[in-house]
Structure 1
Amino acid sequence: MKQADQPILRDIVLIGGGHSHVGVLKRFAMKPEPGVRLTVICRDTHTPYSGMLPGYIAGHYRYDEVHIDLRRLAEYAGARFFRDEAVGLDRNQQTVLCKNRPPVPYDLVSINIGSSPQMRSIGGAPEHAVPVKPIHQFNDRWQQLLDRLTHHDGKTRVAVVGGGAGGVELTLAMHYRLHNELTAMGRDPEELIFNLFTRDEKILPTHSQRVRNHFHQALAYRDINLHTNAEVTAVQSGRLQTADGHWHEADEIVWVTNAGGAAWLQDTGLELDDSGFISVKDTLQTLNDPKVFAAGDVATQINHPREKAGVFAVRQGRPLADNLRAAILNRPLKPYRPQKRWLALISTGEQYAVASRGGFSCAGTWVWRWKNSIDRRFMAKFNDLPPMEESTMGKARPSRVPLDEDEQSQAISAVAMRCGGCGAKVGASVLSRALSTLEPVEREEVLVGLHAPDDAAVVRVPAGQLAVHTIDFFRAFIDDPYIFGKVAANHALGDIFAMGAEAQSATAVATVPQGLESKVEDTVFQMMTGALEVLNDANCTLVGGHTGEGKELALGFAVNGLIGEDETALTKGALQPGQALILTKPIGTGTLFAAHAKLGAKGRWIDAALESMCLSNRLGAQCLREHGATACTDLTGFGLLGHLVEMTRPSGVDAELNLSELPLLDGAEETVAAGILSSLQPANVRLRRAIKEQEKWVNHPRYPLLFDPQTAGGLLASVPADRVEACVLALQALGYPHTRVIGRVLPEGEALEPIQLRET
């Protein structure tokens, strides 16, 4: 993650990862605005490009060729990426309401979320039809549909509802792909029966007759049945009804019509059109709130209404970025007038396409090659990211963001030479506001806690219990303070759980980059909200802490735990020969986040890594104890090998690891193969001398991952061999699906190298 060199003074929040917003990110990447922070809120990390989706469905493109990696693009632009779904807008408080996280404040907000299916007026459609929109969800639905269709016995009847360019193009792409799939499986492609329904009297109503003729021929050639003047009025399992009352059999129903604005827009108070889309001025600002912008399919320019086509969303990217920049700097905004005519390149399933612009049209394989070239050049702008020149990063430029008088005072304070010692603390009022709504779980042993005015907490150790203490602290490696708070709390609790103890209380210590009070307050609030969710889930009370200013966001916890005096702690030095070694989470966080900082990791790899890091070890530790584990540790900075050596030496045993069985995070092998390693890796590699015949394994693709430092990693434990199978199954059932037996404990040998490697 990029570190801002100037205090954050203004926030622009982008809701959605549509075609317009990727253009905004790219323009701000090439010309950042000092003091202005961009935040993207989107449910999906990879956003599809609508122009290439038919080719993807037809099998001409791979997944990554038709998707823009939003997380990677945001990192390139120095923007924060919050993987969540917006569900509302509080315009009075100027916050975006999210499904799974605290509200996100904005100074300006832009909405580019595409359209949503409006199927509820058609009885049974929401339950029995597969909507194409919202487009960002389409890949999951298509994969499920493809699996069902290729495994359907006998004839398969597919109905597509919608006769516009999208519906016709999708129908032909699906037919082409499924025809090829069935042929490859040795099945008769004639089993496919396609029906295309449109309520209009003709298909592609906004295109010329010549273009329609091309597609009539393409549909007829594929034996696709076309039903015009056939509005669908009801849907049931296995069939649909048209306005003439006739029922048509259909094993699968795909919906490519009746799109409108997302339901939550109705509660924003923004002015909407009859379809629920946001009405905007020529500046792309909403009619009744100049702080709210909208673009793409979700927006309707009231002075220049246009068809909902991807070309307009793409073209709006530049004026949207320029007007967001102008608005945040209090400069005049420029009106944008979309073109009246545009070029549409519509494919016919195979590598053949039709060009349409007004009355002009042409067709052929050369048109598909032309379309392919245009689409690939567009995607390269966002996926082939060149390194940024340092001179373009705006490091030395003064802030130009206009501020009111109070904000000017705060900004001067933020950039001034900072005090040390207690003068480096975050202000009391900022801290109290940020923490005031946090509600730590209550424990009767906590006599003086977080919301007391005292400078220290008072916590009783119950009779018959022993106290277990640990501390962890590290800087942020991800630009989402809420998720970072979750990971930091999980990481700190790991040591307590690994010893078989119960977490009791925690004290936080954090550093927060300087900035306007409101920005610092929100960062603390977001971070501590995430942390508190984890602590409360562990029944661990947050009793206090210390927050100071620093160049980088960082967080840690001193955690107290309890274990019964008559219980045996799961220490590192209790490995026993003959036991199996279990690992509960996949490894690879070190290399993946090193790659993320270099734009060398796919966004979905980072998503999976964060999901693993946010998974608590609490239930896993309990399960291991119940299945007779005698030794345990959580994997953190020393990596798998380092922590295993910490266990073998005091236990007086050797160990064998099976490289083939190591659970790995997606992408970890790819990033280490590219030579991208954590900065802590060289220190960990010094332990290679603990490996027997290590020269034999040094070129193994998984060898570097033995030294990869982990953050909030899984539990490494020893379990009796006769109980290991049941233990693994129990752990997987508890939500640790990557749990594996990765090796075994051996009697101590005479050699100095305690770790043996093997491969299944």
Structure 2
Amino acid sequence: MHSRIPLTRDLVLVGGGHTHALILRKWGMNPLPGVRLTVINPGATAPYSGMLPGFVAGHYTRAELDIDLVQLARFAEARIINGAVNGIDLKAKTISVPGRPPISYDVAAIDIGITSEMPKLPGFAEYGVPAKPLGVFASRWDSFRSTASDPHVAVIGGGVAGAELAMAMAHALRARGQTPDIHLLDRGKVLAVLGDTARQKMKSALAANGVTIHEDASAVAVHSDGVECEGGTVVPSDFTVGAAGAKPHDWQSDIGLQMHEGFIWTDAHLQTSDPAIFAVGDCAHFSADPRPKAGVYAVRQAPVHFDNLRAALSGGTLRSYKPQKDYLKLISLGDKKALAEKFGTAMAGGLLWKWKDHIDRKFMNQFENLQMMDQPDLPLTIADGVRDALGDKPMCGGCGAKVGRTALRSALKSLPDHSRDDVVTVTGDDAALLRMGSIGQVISTDHLRSFTNDPVMMARIAAVHALGDIWAMGAKPQAATATIILPRTSPELQQRMLDEIMAAAAEIMGKAGAAIVGGHTSLGDEMTIGFTVTGLCDKPITIAGGKAGNALILTKPLGSGVIMAAEMAGKAAGADVIGALETMCADQAKASEILTEAHAMTDVTGFGLAGHLAGLCEASNAGAVVALGDVPLMQGARALSEDGIKSTLYGDNRSGAGSIFGADGPVADLLFDPQTAGGLLASVPAERSQQILARLKKAGYEDAAIIGHLTEQTGTIKVQ
């Protein structure tokens, strides 16, 4: 790690294609100190095209097909932005992603692949699915394969990719006991790019798989039950795939870069007409020696691309990429057989499938078992207790970095009693109530140690987190001040990061009705974002009003602590991480309004559900019963807990939660999981609980649930 070296330059990778996946891996092993690396991609994963036919045929799982970009970003210490770029401003040197402030760059690289023009075919958008983007196709096929009966499939486009998909789908459906009707359509001759020998072998393989070939068949429309061709012929299909008409993404032609037939022109250095931007993979046209669109070229561009990006950021010399003249084509034939073709020579068989499978798995294995963040090396001689204090893993961020509940309560008890009659506090409430005549104002402060390198995501989560104390007391947010610590950076990057943070914070606070009225900034070892927030209320809801028999409602699922702890270790699925971040960003404004009937309420944050429930029970002189099976969990949280992963605050939360007995095990452990920007926990009248829950769900809180009730057994929580 180079955390003490100031950040001075922004490198932004647009797209997580094969080349950029390799760049992230290389960067993790050999980063350029002083560079903040960002990758932008619509989704947590990038499917590997070489294994797509095998996945379609059922030889690989979806997990085996996908490169996890979130894990790669963690390995490279990069920020990952989940979104689709829709523009680049060359003059301002900013990149546009819907729903975010502009993303600045000093050097940028584009690797977004190609898309399909099939949606222009009448009816295709409604009834067809393009073969690219691969992720969308893989999901749609997965659903069709598992539910189809008497399947009819049509593939429009008789190139190698279309033929591979047709045979793979035929094999997969037969393996499920179906008798599929598969058609391959081309407006000319199928497999025209192959040599005569390879073409004949492929046509024989198509016939062996029961695929009907339609040559000189131009599709003119797609219907729910078939593909209409010129002349009126209708090919039956209830799953129509578009494997023809590959084209560049529309937005890249509007950048202002030099283009070649819609593709981004690059020179021998993979550099575009703007020296600050590079382009690789299928989205680019390599002018020095044009090559076909094939993944093998994207993979072999990676070493040159990596060196040139570093050179562009450090004043070095660029080097040229020299593609091979031809490459070995290994083509899947449906079952575990493959065809190999190079220089006009072709052969087929099971051994070639094993060879292809070995090559593909070797490529994907590069992205497995990456060495993630570890504890720092310690000197030979250290003070007693250092190893115990350090623990066996890096400290979690967010609420996982809090001081334990026991230590905090002990410190608060030592404070002298105040004598102000305009300050009202309830022990355990995170917000204090100030009385100014008939006006009630609540005030609270909270901050988060960074657990993601994205300032926008951190600002949104920190704002929602700080507002939670206001919402939990039934107050309307009023004003906020920001406290921001940035890692040591150049003045230019400081401005960029502050702009992103304040824009994101203003969005959340403004939506909540609060004005940001000031703040404080400083530099430190890592990014920390916090807010002091005030709110107005007539009658605050505290944690002291719960009554025996009240139903307990939780508005958000649990699991952010364990998921982010696993993410630090490279053990969380990227989709689960992105899902957790999005859940943390979800505000509680409408939930607070709906829960005005609550007798007691708190937000579930660093001390976990058990700790915050214990505080509510203690203040309300009540106990509680929690139905473990009714507690909502984030996707992936249960599996990670079953694998033994815990936040660094878990132990303190467990010991500080008091008298809790009953169910035990990995799911019960999540009751002690520290939550960041967690949900509201409300004690509501039992007779109104179902109506309140229905209102919450209608308002968009789909995970909201009744998780138990309060009892008369003071201070005792039973989990069942």
Report the TM-score, using the length of structure 2 for normalisation. 0.89
Gaps of 5+ in 2: 378-433
Helix, strand or coil for the counterpart of 1:494?
Answer: helix
Find the counterpart in structure 1 of residue 460 from structure 2: 486
Q: Give 1:6 deviation, angstroms.
A: 1.0
Distance in 2 (alpha carbons) for counterparts of 1:369 and 1:388: 35
Q: Give 1:672 deviation, angstroms.
A: 2.7
Q: Give 1:162 deviation, angstroms.
A: 0.9
Which residue of 567, 582, 598 corresponds with 2:553? 582
Q: Give 1:360 deviation, angstroms.
A: 2.3
Helix, strand or coil for the counterpart of 2:601?
Answer: strand
Helix, strand or coil for the counterpart of 2:580?
Answer: helix
Q: Give 1:141 deviation, angstroms.
A: 2.9
**Contact 2:372/2:569 (<8 A) preserved:** no
Find the counterpart in structure 2 of residue 24 from structure 1: 23
Instruction: Give the alignment of 1:637-676 within 5 angstroms.
Output: 637-676=606-645
- Could you tell me which amino acid in structure 1 is paired with residue 584 of structure 2? M
Instruction: Give the alignment of 1:407-426 within 5 angstroms.
Output: none
Q: Give 1:618 deviation, angstroms.
A: 1.0
Find the counterpart in structure 1 of residue 266 from structure 2: 280
Q: Give 1:391 deviation, angstroms.
A: 11
Aligned length: 664
Q: Give 1:3 deviation, angstroms.
A: 7.2
Find the counterpart in structure 1 of residue 118 from structure 2: 119
Distance in 1 (alpha carbons) for counterparts of 2:465 and 2:251: 36
1:157 matched to 2:162: no
Which residue of 169, 173, 198 corresponds with 2:164? 169
* Residues 1:676 and 1:388: Cα distance change in structure 2 (over 3 Å): closer
Which residue of 154, 158, 181 corresponds with 1:193? 181
Alpha-carbon displacement from aligned partner over 1:686-735 (angstroms, at most 9, x marks no partner): 13541136xxx44x122321211111001111122222222222212211
**Contact 1:114/1:135 (<8 A) preserved:** no
Distance in 2 (alpha carbons) for counterparts of 1:359 and 1:391: 55
* Residues 1:260 and 1:499: Cα distance change in structure 2 (over 3 Å): same
Find the counterpart in structure 1 of residue 328 from structure 2: 343
Find the counterpart in structure 2 of residue 613 from structure 1: 584
Distance in 2 (alpha carbons) for counterparts of 1:624 and 1:719: 8
Alpha-carbon displacement from aligned partner over 1:115-149 (angstroms, at most 9, x marks no partner): 011235533433432111122433333334446xx
1:559 matched to 2:533: yes
1:510 matched to 2:484: yes
**Contact 1:353/1:363 (<8 A) preserved:** yes
Alpha-carbon displacement from aligned partner over 1:457-490 (angstroms, at most 9, x marks no partner): xxx9998431111111121111110011100000
Distance in 2 (alpha carbons) for counterparts of 1:677 and 1:477: 15
Segment of structure 1 superposing worse, 276-285 or 205-214: 205-214
Distance in 2 (alpha carbons) for counterparts of 1:146 and 1:87: 33
1:231 matched to 2:218: yes
Q: Give 1:68 deviation, angstroms.
A: 0.7
Which residue of 688, 691, 696 corresponds with 1:726? 691
1:39 matched to 2:25: no
- Could you tell me which amino acid in structure 2 is paired with residue 232 of structure 1? A
* Residues 1:712 and 1:248: Cα distance change in structure 2 (over 3 Å): same
1:317 matched to 2:317: no
Distance in 1 (alpha carbons) for counterparts of 2:644 and 2:5: 32
- Could you tell me which amino acid in structure 2 is paired with residue 312 of structure 1? Y
Distance in 2 (alpha carbons) for counterparts of 1:348 and 1:651: 68
Distance in 1 (alpha carbons) for counterparts of 2:225 and 2:285: 36
**Contact 1:497/1:621 (<8 A) preserved:** yes
Q: Give 1:221 deviation, angstroms.
A: 2.2
Q: Give 1:54 deviation, angstroms.
A: 1.1
Segment of structure 1 superposing worse, 125-134 or 535-544: 125-134
Alpha-carbon displacement from aligned partner over 1:438-474 (angstroms, at most 9, x marks no partner): xxxxxxxxxxxxxxxxxxxxxx999843111111112
Distance in 1 (alpha carbons) for counterparts of 2:53 and 2:119: 26
Which residue of 548, 562, 570 corresponds with 1:599? 570
Alpha-carbon displacement from aligned partner over 1:604-629 (angstroms, at most 9, x marks no partner): 1111111110110111121222xx32
**Contact 1:511/1:548 (<8 A) preserved:** yes
Helix, strand or coil for the counterpart of 1:269?
Answer: coil
Distance in 1 (alpha carbons) for counterparts of 2:198 and 2:25: 35
Which residue of 243, 248, 254 corresponds with 1:267? 254
Helix, strand or coil for the counterpart of 2:701?
Answer: coil
Helix, strand or coil for the counterpart of 1:666?
Answer: coil
Which residue of 333, 338, 346 corresponds with 1:353? 338
Alpha-carbon displacement from aligned partner over 1:69-93 (angstroms, at most 9, x marks no partner): 1011011011111111110010001
Distance in 1 (alpha carbons) for counterparts of 2:706 and 2:435: 37
Find the counterpart in structure 1 of residue 174 from structure 2: 179
Q: Give 1:95 deviation, angstroms.
A: 1.0
Alpha-carbon displacement from aligned partner over 1:412-458 (angstroms, at most 9, x marks no partner): xxxxxxxxxxxxxxxxxxxxxxxxxxxxxxxxxxxxxxxxxxxxxxx
**Contact 1:69/1:383 (<8 A) preserved:** no
Which residue of 214, 223, 230 corresponds with 2:201? 214
Q: Give 1:244 deviation, angstroms.
A: 4.5
Find the counterpart in structure 2 of residue 186 from structure 1: none
Q: Give 1:550 deviation, angstroms.
A: 1.6
**Contact 1:88/1:96 (<8 A) preserved:** yes
**Contact 1:580/1:719 (<8 A) preserved:** yes
- Could you tell me which amino acid in structure 1 is paired with residue 215 of structure 2? T
Instruction: Give the alignment of 1:633-712 within 5 angstroms.
Output: 633-687=602-656, 689-692=658-661, 697-698=663-664, 700-712=665-677
Distance in 2 (alpha carbons) for counterparts of 1:469 and 1:19: 49
Distance in 2 (alpha carbons) for counterparts of 1:140 and 1:464: 58
Helix, strand or coil for the counterpart of 1:702?
Answer: helix
Q: Give 1:237 deviation, angstroms.
A: 4.2
Find the counterpart in structure 1 of residue 594 from structure 2: 623
Find the counterpart in structure 1 of residue 389 from structure 2: none
**Contact 1:3/1:552 (<8 A) preserved:** no
**Contact 2:74/2:372 (<8 A) preserved:** no
Q: Give 1:303 deviation, angstroms.
A: 2.5
Alpha-carbon displacement from aligned partner over 1:635-692 (angstroms, at most 9, x marks no partner): 0111111101101112111111122222111222233333332222222121354113
Distance in 1 (alpha carbons) for counterparts of 2:12 and 2:661: 53
Helix, strand or coil for the counterpart of 2:109?
Answer: strand
Segment of structure 1 superposing worse, 204-213 or 347-356: 204-213
**Contact 1:592/1:671 (<8 A) preserved:** yes
Distance in 1 (alpha carbons) for counterparts of 2:89 and 2:589: 36
* Residues 1:658 and 1:364: Cα distance change in structure 2 (over 3 Å): same
Distance in 2 (alpha carbons) for counterparts of 1:391 and 1:725: 51
* Residues 1:737 and 1:594: Cα distance change in structure 2 (over 3 Å): same
Find the counterpart in structure 2 of residue 422 from structure 1: none
**Contact 2:4/2:488 (<8 A) preserved:** no
Distance in 2 (alpha carbons) for counterparts of 1:689 and 1:633: 17
- Could you tell me which amino acid in structure 1 is paired with residue 533 of structure 2? V
* Residues 1:156 and 1:136: Cα distance change in structure 2 (over 3 Å): closer
Helix, strand or coil for the counterpart of 1:497?
Answer: helix
Q: Give 1:151 deviation, angstroms.
A: 4.5
Sequence identity (%): 39
Q: Give 1:51 deviation, angstroms.
A: 0.6
Find the counterpart in structure 2 of residue 457 from structure 1: none
Distance in 2 (alpha carbons) for counterparts of 1:136 and 1:194: 22
Give the aligned CA root-mean-square deviation in angstroms.
Answer: 2.1
Helix, strand or coil for the counterpart of 2:173?
Answer: helix
Helix, strand or coil for the counterpart of 1:691?
Answer: strand
Distance in 2 (alpha carbons) for counterparts of 1:490 and 1:608: 16
* Residues 1:684 and 1:388: Cα distance change in structure 2 (over 3 Å): closer
Report the TM-score, using the length of structure 1 for normalisation. 0.84
- Could you tell me which amino acid in structure 1 is paired with residue 33 of structure 2? P
**Contact 1:641/1:687 (<8 A) preserved:** no
